[in-house]
């Protein structure tokens, strides 16, 4: 008889359902007038006297277990039915999320930073609203110097303006650090120019600076050769043309062989086979003195490039306005690009 109780108890413990009809059928099957547990109570009189106490105790435990099982399952159903119903249709097929795209200027800027980081250049940043000293005077732009006319400036007052180049960051780096200095300065700059396909009132630059003992023009050329090959491919060639910048002497413009026509001549390179990408030169001794660095002991080179210009050559997008108009049709083209 005890074995019958244990068997039925296992059935009770293993039963589970979320259907009210099934729970009611379970109650009737075990606790109804002809239920399994009720029949055991009816057969109690047949149990030997010596076993009645244990049998009765186990039978009461079985009955309580069955009653508690019914109560618990019905309580769970009541909680589910009283819960607020969701308007969500979980049978609707899922809609894929649109994958965002990185801006082409961000892609090219990060690629430039990554290339120079591999050869020891750290990143330096500075304010976009700059004073005259850091933006002009310290860089060998004296007052009334005609070189200031090279850059149309957004002046806030007589001494404060939106920076026209990230060279101002290089001045701050030289003021706060003693050589050796090896840093690049990425950032946004502003110039008071009419917006067109070839010009904009704001754009992005990455400028580089290296100062140490014995730094030569040849060191600069080797660095720029490394950069152009890493950016445009191993077949890329460079040439340096004499130029003028107030803060470097000697100064040069850097051209790369046209990667589109392989230097054969095309509309992009104006059939010259070369494309201009940046300016560079040896840091003028006056700039070093302005930043409290001894020009007799140290020398250095600097270079600067427009990120939009590099992006134009990589992506062949010749309208600068597209980079700032937030046209999703344009930006989505770069969703799979990476550096």
pLDDT in tens, the chain (339 residues): 677 777 877 887 888 888 888 888 888 887 888 787 788 777 767 777 777 777 778 778 878 888 888 888 888 877 766 656 667 777 888 887 777 788 999 999 999 999 999 999 999 999 999 999 999 999 998 777 765 666 688 888 888 999 999 999 999 999 999 999 999 999 999 998 888 888 889 999 999 999 999 999 999 999 999 999 999 999 899 999 999 999 999 999 999 998 777 778 777 778 888 989 999 999 999 999 999 999 999 999 999 999 998 998 888 887 889 999 888 888 888 876 654
Considering the domain architecture, whether residues 171 and 252 belong to the same structural domain is answered as yes
Report the domain count for the chain. 2
Is 94 among the domain residues?
no
CA distance 128 to 185: 12
> Which H or E run includes 130?
strand 129-131
**Do 183 and 125 form a contact (C-beta atoms < 8 A)?**
no
* Alpha helices, H only, the chain: 2-14, 20-31, 36-42, 49-82, 104-117, 132-135, 167-176, 217-232, 285-290, 307-315, 328-331
Considering the domain architecture, whether residues 225 and 271 belong to the same structural domain is answered as yes
Buried b (16+ CB within 10 A) or exposed e, 319-339: ebebbeeeeeebbeebeeeee
Q: Give the CATH number for residue 116.
A: 3.30.930.10
> Which H or E run includes 325?
none
Is 314 among the domain residues?
yes
Domain, as residue range, for 33: 2-82
Considering the domain architecture, whether residues 275 and 317 belong to the same structural domain is answered as yes
């Amino acid at each position: 008889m005890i074995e019958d109780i244990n068997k039925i108890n296992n059935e009770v413990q293993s039963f589970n359902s979320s259907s009210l009809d099934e729970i009611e059928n379970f109650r009737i099957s075990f606790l109804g007038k002809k239920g399994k547990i009720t029949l055991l109570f009816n057969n109690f009189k047949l149990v030997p006297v010596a076993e009645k106490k244990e049998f009765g105790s186990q039978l009461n435990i079985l009955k309580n277990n069955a009653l508690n099982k019914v109560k618990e399952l019905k309580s769970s159903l009541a909680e589910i039915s009283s819960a607020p119903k969701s308007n969500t249709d979980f049978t609707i097929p899922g809609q894929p999320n649109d994958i965002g795209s990185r801006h082409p200027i961000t892609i090219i800027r990060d690629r430039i930073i990554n290339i120079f980081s591999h050869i020891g250049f750290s990143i330096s940043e500075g304010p976009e609203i700059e004073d005259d000293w850091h933006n002009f005077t310290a860089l060998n732009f004296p007052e009334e110097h005609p070189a200031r006319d090279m850059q149309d400036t957004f002046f806030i007052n007589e001494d404060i303006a939106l920076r026209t180049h990230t060279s101002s960051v290089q001045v701050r780096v030289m003021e706060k650090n003693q050589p050796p200095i090896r840093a690049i300065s990425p950032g946004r700059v502003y110039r008071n120019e009419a917006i067109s396909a070839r010009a904009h009132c704001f754009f992005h630059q990455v400028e580089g600076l290296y100062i140490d003992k014995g730094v030569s023009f040849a060191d600069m050329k080797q660095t720029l050769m490394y950069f152009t090959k890493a950016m445009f491919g191993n077949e890329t060639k460079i040439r340096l043309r004499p130029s003028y910048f107030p803060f470097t002497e000697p100064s040069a413009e850097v051209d790369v062989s046209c990667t589109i026509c392989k230097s054969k001549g095309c509309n992009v390179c104006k059939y010259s086979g070369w494309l201009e990408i940046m300016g560079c030169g040896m840091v003028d001794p006056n700039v070093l003195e302005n930043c409290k660095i001894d020009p007799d002991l140290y020398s250095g080179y600097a270079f600067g490039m427009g990120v939009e210009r590099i992006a134009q050559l990589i992506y062949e997008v010749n309208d600068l306005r597209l980079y700032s108009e937030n046209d999703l049709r344009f930006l989505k083209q770069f969703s799979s690009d990476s550096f």
